[in-house]
Amino acid sequence: MSQAIESILGHSFTRPDLLREALTHRSAARPGARGRGSNERLEFIGDRVLGLLVAEWLIERFPKEQEGELGRRLAHLVSQPVLAEVCEAIGLPAALSVSPGEARAGVRARATVLADALEAALGAIYLDGGLDSARGFVRRAWDAVMTAQAEPPKDAKTALQEWVQARGLGLPRYEVTARSGPPHSPLFEVTVFAGDYSGTGTAGSKRAAEQLAAEALLRTVAA
């Protein structure tokens, strides 16, 4: 299994323990480990490495763009939905170690879990092989979404606000309509209302759920 995962990641680990840790969901971590053993610590550093490497890539790829345009591109490329998409595209979810109960609950399909696992894998590559190895992984794994991004994207909340203003509607109203999950891994369901339309999104943070809700409403009005 480790060789197959190393093939997916494009990196041969000198410290296999880092790879095991990156692929261990908190539900499968050793009891009493105080965060050690799960991929949370590696996700923490992977998040920072990803931001740096994507920012570096954007500076190279779009030399004429300024901070605002680059910032929107960066926010999109490191967003939870894109990370989950990349994680699934490279085949990482099947390798994630979770408890039997969480597996039955479908935890491997949750965007927040997939995003965390991908960042943890990147963190493990960085700690094991350095920045060059991490850079190689990012540029391979994110190539499709980077190439598809012809114009700087607008975040969904901004796009929705522009849509309602163009139609003389009131500003969108966001409400937390449900909350589930344990305290250390909450899930927020947010519904946005604009005129006679609404959209709902669920994510591990209110901000991410609001973005998903805005995206859902925009898909509805575009259909």
Q: For the segment 160-180, what is each residue's pLDDT rounded down to a tens digit? A: 998 898 888 889 999 999 999
CA dihedral 53, 54, 56, 61 (to 10 degrees): 140
Helix (H, G, I), strand (E, B) or coil at 124: helix
The pTM score is 0.72
Of the candidates 49, 38, 71, 27, the one whose C-alpha atom is nearest the C-alpha of residue 119 is 49
Annotated catalytic, 119?
yes
What are residue 187's DSSP bridge partners? 180
Q: For domain 156-222, which CATH number applies: 3.40.50.1980, 3.30.2080.10, 3.40.50.2300, 3.30.160.20?
A: 3.30.160.20
Q: One of 21, 43, 85, 119 is an active-site residue; which one?
A: 119
Residue 85 is predicted with a pLDDT of 93
Per-domain residue ranges of the chain: 2-148, 156-222
127 CB neighbour count, 10 Å cutoff: 20
Q: Known catalytic residue: 102?
A: no
Half-sphere exposure of 13 (CA within 13 A, CB side): 24
Place of tokens 């050793």: 30
Residues in CB range of 166: below 8 A, 6 or more apart:
none
The region of weakest confidence among 91-100, 109-118, 120-129, 152-161 is 152-161
pLDDT greater than 50 at residue 4: yes
Structure confidence at residue 35 as a pLDDT band (50, 70, 90): very low
- Catalytic residue from among 47, 85, 102, 128: 47
Say yes or no: do domains 2-148 and 156-222 share a fold: no
Residue 134 exposed, middle or buried by CB count within 10 Å (0-12, 13-18, 19+) = buried
Right CATH for 2-148 from 3.40.50.920, 1.10.1520.10, 1.10.10.10, 1.10.287.130? 1.10.1520.10
Statement: residue 32 has pLDDT above 60:
no
